[in-house]
Structure 1
């Protein structure tokens, strides 16, 4: 045990020690150690997670005859239920794509997709700032990979040009909305690059965009009218959609490859049908939340301006607003100060973000009021 204790002590000395907090959730507020705070750290972007009317409507449609609370098995064995197919068909139809496939989480999706679709003769080119789950999937793929500079498409183009003809297939991997900086990939440029090089595929993670952007809430790809051009469009149900799980939209060939070769899908007990039914209920209503999306954008634009005045650093174009302070100690102190003022703000430190860019990741939700966000900004 000594070596593990030393590791923990080292993390503490570097102000990088993490712990799981005890929290009580009350709508958009959180209570911790008897202190009630406005939750500025949630991914519940549309504010649906605590919507009692939605929850009541969902439960009433079943009376007392609810879907099963467990699947008890992998979908490839006995764990498949009609609601899974219903949701996949709804997702595919909404995206106007041939197929969709469900996963237990965004992490499961990103961990398993690339190893299932690549060989040792393949190449992966990933944005420097893609999520840890994508990095883990890349490592498990055991093929060649390079990380191009964040949103630097000239660098990406150079890497593509240098590797023409050397690999059997190439995957370009990016998020649409980046989870720590809140900035947005230029999907149009990525699609253009993909088309310039043979056997090149584009894989986009919309975890922080689904529900929030696009006329029907289908993400940045919908907003930019590029859904049909992206080979693998991945998103989660556990953020703006207030549920659990993830999806990929793709063609039928890729779906069948994933069913046959994706280990996190094959060897995991499937999500409970009850949860999948709730996801269906929310996803079906996604186009109806335009007022929430509009209000969220207004709040986000205001907070981005306020933070930019104080830091002169504002990469964000979304409802994820990084308050970049640099050092771990200063970031921890600021987070503690804001919590004392009644705002649940959390420090984000290396290795989650690059060295010397520790920040408070401010995350807005549509159930916040304009006055609440203005009062928060005054405390910065």
Structure 2
């Protein structure tokens, strides 16, 4: 039998290593680990009239009354004009960016938006008219806005649309978008009839805002954007996604969005699970978990910086540490990209200690930004965080020692030693 691949070994390790504390999953609030939630969900399912399948795609028989009812539910929850249910955030982004922009339109996006948005752009009919601006840079956004309005006169004249795309919290960087500043620039330069601001709230839904309804509502910006993407696979801890948007775009996508039209719609059991988990993040218990995430995130940041003060940043550090709270208004996102030039070696080290770590290297992340992605959860404890930071420090010191030893060997052994290496 062939030996296990690195990916297979990592997946098996991930399944076996939970006792050390969860520092890597997207279950931010630790909803999946609340024992009473399981029984409450089973009770809900026992009362659900339909469970299995959806009988077809939304284009044929998959737009059941239950699907329409759930869309109406989210329309009311988010006080939106329309709400559209998707099987996942990936399918939502593929559909929206692949089919909403029309010929003559232009798309301007933050360079670090999710891969699924990039995939949507690749199939868009305006793929040759998409531009990025530097991550979270208001000055670069302003410069690009001026250039686009000059080069595409149909936009200022109201004949075409400029889509501006950002995320409220960036999943790999763990930082906040300066949304208010960026939105203000769009409002300043782009005529209202020609602007369409899109925000992906994948990593803020459940963590921020009243009842966990996202950072836009935390900062009272929801009325100044046009479409919002709410995947349920992070803090809500389930499958699916809802897009809140305009009636016109809902009508268009439901007739022309192929990746929505021709995908078998969510089975009824998932419809029940989506609503159940969404309501779970609005409870008082979830409020306490949100506070715990915030408190523990600050603690992790403080402890990591204190514990690695004597370790060179090129060995172990938090990427973009100086901007971690630049746009957070006192908030610290629970995502920490821990840089190391040896992410797979750090992964294996942590796996042996019982952590379900995954090293991220190129092409998954840009060269020179190799990392492990640490996530703080509502169910973590201070003891777990202290032990985890202690393990990271031990790793960092071991790497410093190896580097120092290697340099000494080269000096003593000379070219001969280098040749043997």
Q: Is the 8 A contact 1:41 1:362 kept in 2?
A: yes
Query: For the Cα contact (< 8 Å) 1:177–1:183, is it kept in 2?
Result: yes
Q: Which of 225, 232, 235 lines up with 1:237 in the alignment?
A: 232
Q: CA deviation at 1:73?
A: 0.7
Q: Tell me if structure 2 keeps the 8 A contact 1:115–1:138.
A: yes
Cα gap change, 1:20 to 1:262, in 2 (>3 Å): farther
Q: Shift of residue 351 of structure 1? A: 2.1
Match of 2:146 among 145, 161, 174: 161
TM-score (norm 1): 0.88
Structure 2: distance between partners of 1:254 and 1:70: 27
Match of 1:151 in 2: 136
State the SS of the aligned residue for 2:252: helix
Deviations 1:36-57 (Å, cap 9, x if unpaired)? Answer: 5433210011111233312211
Is 1:57 the counterpart of 2:37 in the alignment?
A: no
The TM-score, its normalising length taken from structure 2, stands at 0.80
Cα shift at 1:62 = 4.5
CA distance in 1, matches of 2:79, 2:183: 18
The 3 A distance-change label for structure 1 pair 234 and 261 is: same
Deviations 1:120-169 (A, max 9, x none): 31111111111110011111113101110000111111111112125511
Q: Deviations over 1:66-123 (max 9, x none)?
A: 5222112112211122332222222221211111111010100111102221123111
* 1:182 paired residue number: 174
Aligned position for 2:257: 262
Q: Which runs of 5+ in 1 are unaligned?
A: 1-11
Runs of at least 5 residues in structure 2 that lack an aligned partner in the other structure: 309-316, 325-331, 393-421
Question: Which has the higher Rg, Structure 1 or Structure 2?
Answer: 2
Mean alpha-carbon deviation: is it higher for 353-362 or for 158-167?
158-167
Contact 1:175 1:206 (8 Å CA) reproduced:
yes
Aligned match for 2:377, one of 347, 365, 368: 365
The count of corresponding residues between Structure 1 and Structure 2 is 356
Q: Provide the residue aligned with 2:120 in structure 1.
A: 137
Aligned alpha-carbon RMSD (Å): 2.1
Contact 2:13/2:351, CA 8 A, preserved across alignment: no
In structure 1, which of residues 96, 103, 106 is the aligned counterpart of residue 79 of structure 2?
A: 96
Tell me if 1:307 matches 2:304.
yes
Deviation at 1:241, TM superposition (A): 0.8
Q: Say which of 355, 361, 368 aligns to 2:367.
A: 355
Partner residue in 2 for 1:224: 219
Q: Is the 8 A contact 1:39 1:345 kept in 2?
A: no
Greater per-residue helix proportion: 2
Aligned to 2:31: 48
* Alignment partner of 1:343 out of 355, 359, 365: 355
Give the match for residue 374 of structure 1: 386
Using the TM superposition, give the Cα deviation of residue 20 of structure 1 relative to its aligned residue in structure 2, in angstroms: 7.3
Q: State the Cα distance separating 1:279 from its structure 2 match.
A: 0.8
Q: Give the distance between the partners of 1:145 and 1:274, measured in 2 at CA.
A: 38
Structure 2 counterparts to residues 317-336 of structure 1, below 5 A: 317-325=332-340, 327=341, 330-336=342-348
Q: 1:147 & 1:280 partners in 2: Cα distance?
A: 35
Between structures 1 and 2, the one with greater strand share: 1
Contact in 1 for aligned 2:20/2:384 (Cα 8 Å): no
1:274 aligned residue: 269
Aligned to 1:111: 94
C-alpha displacement of 1:348: 1.2
State the partner residue of 2:295. Answer: 298
Tell me, yes or no, if the aligned pair for 1:31 and 1:37 is still in contact at 8 Å: no
Measured in 2, the distance between the counterparts of 1:169 and 1:20 equals 48
Structure 2 counterpart SS, 1:157: helix
Greater shift after overlay, 80-89 or 224-233?
A: 80-89
Instruction: Give, in whole Å, the separation in 1 of the partners of 2:76 and 2:94.
Output: 25
Confirm whether residue 69 of structure 1 aligns to residue 52 of structure 2. Answer: yes
Contact 2:318 2:337 in 1 (8 A): no
Q: Distance in 2 between matches of 1:161 and 1:345?
A: 43
CA distance in 2, matches of 1:312, 1:77: 49
1:200 corresponds to which residue?
A: 195
Q: Is the 8 Å Cα contact of residues 318 and 336 (structure 2) preserved in structure 1?
A: no
Distance 1:139 1:49, change over 3 A: same
Q: Does the residue aligned with 1:292 lie in a helix, a strand or coil?
A: helix
Q: Which residue of 2 aligns with 1:8?
A: none
